[in-house]
Structure 1
């Protein structure tokens, strides 16, 4: 049993890492289906409900050691790539390094489905869909790849996404198994059932609150960034149009508003853009303007 777990885990880590490096969504989805991490996580929820401390420790150790292995595989794959695998150049990384509250909501719902599928044989066929919906191995592969690329902040964001998903699966799995009367069924079957302390349930609930705080901060930051970009874009476009230039990109990164514009000589007046942005309520935002002077040259044959 454990041998198949480790074989599937390493293979899913390689597939996920390769899919992220290649920026291939289909390949990453394949890794989600193969990944076996859902088993020990749901096993943790089952151990909590049945109050089996030894089973709980064994499952948690398997989750932690498995997660560490995936991170290591991602880091090793990063060594084979000549370019850095970071959010700026890879959409698979960008989608996993800034988790938000909506990710927690999604993980909670997915955890309910996974636990419910365990209690009902008629819905067990939905488990592959659960594996796709809950992102476990890909964020860990991102942690390894971004660490190797020298981006610890992005690695921390991806690790937070993984932790969010694990906490959500354990919490909702515990709730669903309690509602499904797993303890009573185990009693009737003569299985070992310990005393379920309220403190244990409080710790499970507290883990959700623990991950919700940084996710709420991330959500707020995303909203602020989107608001700033939405306010800056029309101002930048008008400024560029007045000077015969074109704005090609407007984005906010690390608190700095970046505006990329292209046009023919002479260079556009960036100071007038600063004044326009100040009038639009962005006086407290640092701005980095990239002016790309372009043109065309005819090179006749011969």
Structure 2
């Protein structure tokens, strides 16, 4: 592995540490524009617009800068990087909230696919963020692969989930806002953790010492804080992943039972959706429809006594089948 030189270190610090009025003004202008683009893209439910915001958004810079500051054990720059990230996140959320005031209808997951894609993060999102953080750090230490950075910007989701936080808060959906905020936090944790690890592997500290740059003491406590941050966000993501797994398993198990029940009257199951606790079955067919009590008995026998089911029959309304277990 090729060692990082003093020139590489100068390039990295110049790119990542937002020091000086010119760099800071560029950052805040770009972030403001990215927030507006992302919010508008979410409201319009437009993938292309949201991707455009990802490319423009400069939040990756202070996050990777924080990782570099951690490696160099530069406490003042760590504090400055964290402050910029938090202030930037607050700005995007505020702009999203203000944009929501201009929209007559609520912007929530039930009616917007861009929102739905960002309010239920799971461990897969964390894994993707870890990999993306590695790519970003690798592109940083290797200037010959810097062309991959636009791809990194698209792969990592930073500004769009923050815009979703603001929009869903304004729409009166704090639970969805919390989910989008968790997605952002997991992405930040992953970038800092993998960025720190890769910069250590490339011996950035040794390069800084050899070049006569000030390097602080990198204690075990600092690395424990970084790792702990990842663990903290991984726990709710793991819970969410388990919930998604149980929901999909329950739906997959209920569907064949419902299809067999419907076929007795030449009916057809249109869809089976819901959660592990409550399932919605949509069926269609000629009148009269199948006996819903028979479906309840069949589900109980199949081991789904604890699952409440709502059966929606075409031209027959919806019938509730409470859980019996």
Shorter-chain TM band:
over 0.9
**Which secondary structure state, in structure 2, belongs to the residue aligned with residue 293 of structure 1?**
coil
Instruction: Give 5+ residue unaligned stretches, structure 2.
Output: 1-22, 317-325
In structure 1, the partner of 2:320 is none
**Residues 1:71 and 2:83 aligned together:** no
Choose which of 265, 268, 277 in structure 2 pairs with 1:243.
265
**1:232 pairs with 238, 251, 254, which one?**
254
Inter-partner Cα distance in structure 2 for 1:152 and 1:41:
26
In the superposition, relative to structure 1, how do residues 254 and 148 fare at CA in structure 2: closer, same or farther (>3 Å)? Answer: farther
* Residues 237 and 246 in structure 1, CA contact (< 8 A), matched pair in contact too: yes
| Corresponding residue number in structure 1 for 2:24 | 2
Alignment of 1:160-175 (within 5 A): 160-175=182-197
2:161 maps to 1:134 = no
**Alpha-carbon distance in 2 for matches of 1:270, 1:66:** 54
Q: What is the CA distance between 1:5 and its match in structure 2?
A: 0.9
User: 1:82 and 1:265, CA in 2 relative to 1: closer, same or farther beyond 3 A?
Assistant: farther
Counting only pairs closer than 5 Å after superposition, residues 1-302 of structure 1 correspond to structure 2 as 1-253=23-275, 255-293=277-315
More deviation, 144-153/41-50: 144-153
Farther-moved stretch of structure 1 (2-11 vs 164-173) = 2-11
Q: Which runs of 4+ in 1 moved over 4 A?
A: none
Aligned pairs, number: 294
- 1:3, CA displacement in angstroms? 1.3
TM-score between the two structures when normalised by the length of structure 2: 0.86
What's the CA shift for 1:254? 7.8
The answer as to whether partners of 1:19 and 1:28 remain within 8 angstroms in 2 is yes
Kept in 1, the 8 Å contact 2:250–2:276? The answer is no
Q: Sort the Cα spacing of 1:72 and 1:263 in 2 relative to 1 into closer, same or farther, 3 A.
A: farther
Checking the alignment, whether the CA contact within 8 Å between 2:251 and 2:275 is kept in structure 1 is no
Deviations 1:250-294 (A, max 9, x none): 111483211122344445432222222222221101112223318
- Could you tell me which runs of 5 or more consecutive residues in structure 1 were left unpaired when the two chains were aligned: 295-302
> What TM-score, normalized by structure 1, do the two folds share?
0.92
RMSD, aligned α-carbons = 1.6
Note the alpha carbon deviations across 1:86-140, whole angstroms, 9 max, x for none.
2222222222111111111111111011011111110111111111111111111
Q: 1:6 to 1:255 in 2, by over 3 A?
A: farther
Q: d(CA) in 2 for partners of 1:120 and 1:261?
A: 57
- 1:241 offset after TM fit, Å? 3.0
How far, CA to CA, are the matches of 1:278 and 1:117 in structure 2? 56
Distance 1:8 1:216, change over 3 A: same
Distance 1:288 1:207, change over 3 A: same
